[in-house]
Structure 1
Amino acid sequence: MRTTLVLLLSTSFLSAADWPEFRGSNAQGHSEATNLPLTWSPTAGIAWKAPLEGIGWSSPVVIGERIFLTSALPVGGVEDPKADRSLHALALDAATGKPVWDVEIFTATSPRTHRKNSHASPTPVYEDGKLYVHFGHLGTACLDAATGKTIWSTQEFAYSPVHGNGSSPVLFEDLLIFSADAETDPKVIALDKTTGKQRWAFARQSDAKKKFSFCTPLIIEVNGQKQLITPGSGVVNALNPKEGTEIWRFNYDQGYSVVPRPIFAHGLLFISTGFDKPVVLAIKPDGKGDVTATHLAWSIDKAAPHDPSMVVIGDELYFIADNGILSCVDAKTGQVHYQERCTGPISASPLFADGKLYLQDEKGLGVVVKPGKTFQILSKNDLGEHTLASYAVVGSDLLIRTEGNLYRIKK
């Protein structure tokens, strides 16, 4: 049985149903799954409910019949915001929600975090039988996904954060790359994924007075060239992912605490510029050097998101502000089709699957919307539990992480 599991988790092939990183196999919040649930409640549509120890807002990763998460448990076992933290990675059986393994990766003196953050917010990333877990300034590790055994770990890249950690790592060829947008001297760092040793570091420069941000990078291809798109405070940089050298940059002045992961569609890059007032930008990513004055396609400064990432469905771009106002705009032109109240306060990123748009707000309300130029809510489903994590998909079911539980929602 264990041999079968090791072979399953060691294969380089990912099925369409797998969800190997933040926002899925295409990193854009799309799933090819069909026959997903439309309605659920605390007493209906629940395949299983698995209690989770500690506090963590990493979103689930799914490979075959395994679900992977991270969490931060209080040292000593008694929950206290001031307690030191035991940083864990864990695997659950997708069919039952039962634990497969649970391992401590690091311990850390508890630094202060924002109320909408945790010590285990970055989502892991999976590849070729290995699970890469990242706790921001608290450390990074590579695990055997079948057993949880540590292959390598490092805490060399500590920095002074603000509000904790948040940026999830990405993989590119033989590199593991993450943003380290600290209070001072913000960087993007690439590690050798087989050893954990640094391969390159890019020093981010901008005029933003507040340097900290939490954005997960995105790999795209433009005219045959790979680009690592990495928004930070005051600037989005496109880097050569092999070397960490800059291809182009676009400045947006004082925007900081940038969270939404970029989206790439119709030849345009869509980002949101962070606090204090976010603006959605559509940028043409085919330039060189400083493209601020030349490569903006369009922008919208009303109801832009601080935290949730965006999603493109067909010709439309959808984004939801943190106050729950959902916007549908023409992705190519920025023409607004609607901006409507949809959820309560929201931080999780939306999911497009089975012809439907799924949104999960901070109070546990899941709202399902019909894509299109006319606003139409298909269902509202309240779990009644605080949640900040984004959806994942397993088979034809949804995974929803709340403050204390992981739910598998079935049709």
Structure 2
Amino acid sequence: MPRAALALCFALALALPVAAAEWVQFRGAAGDGHADAAKLPTEWDQTKNVAWRVELPGNGWSSPVAAGGKVYVTTAVPGEGKGDYSLRALCLDAKTGKTLWDAEVFKEDGKTAAKIHSKNSHASPTPVLDGEFLFVHFGHLGTACLKANDGSKVWTQEALKYTPVHGAGGSPVLAADKLIFCIDGVEKQAVIALDRKTGKVAWQTPRDAKPKKPFSFATPLLIAVGGKEQVVAQGSDVVMALDPKTGTEIWRVKYNGYSVVPKPLFANGTVYLSTGYDNPVFYAIRADGTGDVTDTHVAWTVKKGVPRNASPLLVGDAIYMAADDGTLTCIDAKTGAERWNERVGKAYSSSPVFANGHVYLLAEDGTATVFKPGSSYDPVATNKMGERALASYGVDGDALLLRTEKALYRIERK
């Protein structure tokens, strides 16, 4: 196949939802919350349509990832001293929930541990799974590559120290031979790429934004524009698009916002993103620019119903946003015009999933709402778990993986 055709196929793979792929990173195979072909149940509770429920050691808000009949999560288990934690990765059998291995990756010393937000944990970034390797990230405490079959360490990277605010949150992504993540602490704001084979720093690009509130928790997004890859990385007051091979900046847009959590979307040649706190604005940015394109490539903005924590979801020509006050808003992806909004629950931190013609929401109180996307709000089911839930869903085949404060559930039709 000619190189041009290969490049086109790769670009399409990045831009379109993956129908039947494994859930190998935050928000799934394509990083967009789509598991289109998965035949997930629409109704459940703590026992109905529950294949298994496994209480996890410690605590963590990282989302589960799954492939090859196995499920992986990270967690932080309290140690003997006050504030001590064992930062761990776990592998579970996807069919039974049995723990196959439980490995310590790093230790956190309570004497020097940074304080975290009440809605955060010491294990919030979601792992990335790539064949025989599992990449785990604990923010300022370090990053590691483990063997997926037994949890043994391939490499660790602990040299990238910085002072966090409220702990860690952003997850890493893989781009060819690099693992890429954001650092947005007090004294350092940058995008980092590690060599995926060695863990050594391949490049690091400073944000050069000088925000008053520098901390953010964003997850990068890998896209293709004009046959060339870009990694879109948000931070406080700025979003940057970089060449994932070199870290060279391609374009940037400046805004007012900090503590950025939602992961951006990409479609129609456009990047869609929320600016975080205090007053979030939803941006649509054409991704074909060069340099500072703040004044030239912002297609439209929306200020109503914009989430601070949950990532937006694109289905067809509509974007769905679950806000912190429990409001669900549907907007036109091309114009930003509001189609409808509905109060569907309480606060949302978990990012939604689209599967088999349904959208799945998960509120912080553990209430899961299922609805059909369309020209008006069309509810299908409301499922109450009775447990706090801040992690986003995972999907394994036709099963939904739902992590609560205490346990991990496998939910599938019986």
Q: Same fold (TM over 0.5)?
A: yes
Partner of 1:52: 56
Question: Would you say 1:145 and 2:145 are equivalent positions?
Answer: no
Question: Would you say 1:129 and 2:129 are equivalent positions?
Answer: no
1:355-394 CA distance string (max 9 Å, x none): 0000001110000011012011110000000010001111
Opposite residue 337 of structure 2, the aligned amino acid is Q
Moved over 6 A (4+): none
* Partners of 2:181 and 2:193 within 8 A in 1: yes
Opposite residue 183 of structure 1, the aligned amino acid is V
Partner of 2:171: 168
The CA deviation at 1:17 is 4.1
**Paired residue secondary structure (2:140):** helix
**Paired residue secondary structure (1:31):** coil
Pairs within 5 Å for 1:6-17: 16-17=20-21
1:8-53 CA distance string (max 9 Å, x none): xxxxxx9934100000001000003332101001121111000101
- For 2:239, which of 216, 232, 236 is the aligned residue? 236
The CA deviation at 1:207 is 4.5
Counterpart Cα distance in 1 of 2:140 and 2:39: 40
Counterpart Cα distance in 1 of 2:288 and 2:83: 48
CA RMSD between the two structures: 1.2
Aligned positions, number: 393
Counterpart Cα distance in 2 of 1:136 and 1:34: 32
Opposite residue 160 of structure 2, the aligned amino acid is F
Opposite residue 84 of structure 1, the aligned amino acid is D
Partner of 2:7: none
* Partners of 1:137 and 1:161 within 8 A in 2: yes
Partner of 1:111: 114
Counterpart Cα distance in 2 of 1:44 and 1:313: 28
Cα gap change, 1:242 to 1:89, in 2 (>3 Å): same
* Partners of 2:321 and 2:329 within 8 A in 1: yes
Identity %: 51
Unaligned runs of 5+ in 1: 1-13
Partner of 2:13: none
Partner of 2:312: 310
Counterpart Cα distance in 2 of 1:116 and 1:304: 19
Question: Would you say 1:84 and 2:84 are equivalent positions?
Answer: yes
Counterpart Cα distance in 2 of 1:187 and 1:403: 31
Opposite residue 288 of structure 2, the aligned amino acid is D
The CA deviation at 1:293 is 0.4
TM-score normalized by structure 1? 0.94
* Partners of 2:19 and 2:34 within 8 A in 1: no
The CA deviation at 1:83 is 2.2
- For 1:338, which of 340, 349, 357 is the aligned residue? 340
Counterpart Cα distance in 1 of 2:227 and 2:151: 37
Counterpart Cα distance in 2 of 1:16 and 1:356: 15
* Partners of 1:260 and 1:307 within 8 A in 2: yes
Cα gap change, 1:69 to 1:287, in 2 (>3 Å): same
Opposite residue 195 of structure 1, the aligned amino acid is T
Pairs within 5 Å for 1:1-400: 16-76=20-80, 82-109=82-109, 110-253=113-256, 255-400=257-402
1:202-234 CA distance string (max 9 Å, x none): 011225211110000001001111111001000
1:130-179 CA distance string (max 9 Å, x none): 00000000110000001111001121111100000001011111111110
Opposite residue 410 of structure 1, the aligned amino acid is E
Counterpart Cα distance in 1 of 2:134 and 2:150: 10
The CA deviation at 1:344 is 1.1
1:102-123 CA distance string (max 9 Å, x none): 0001101232100111110000
Unaligned runs of 5+ in 2: 1-17
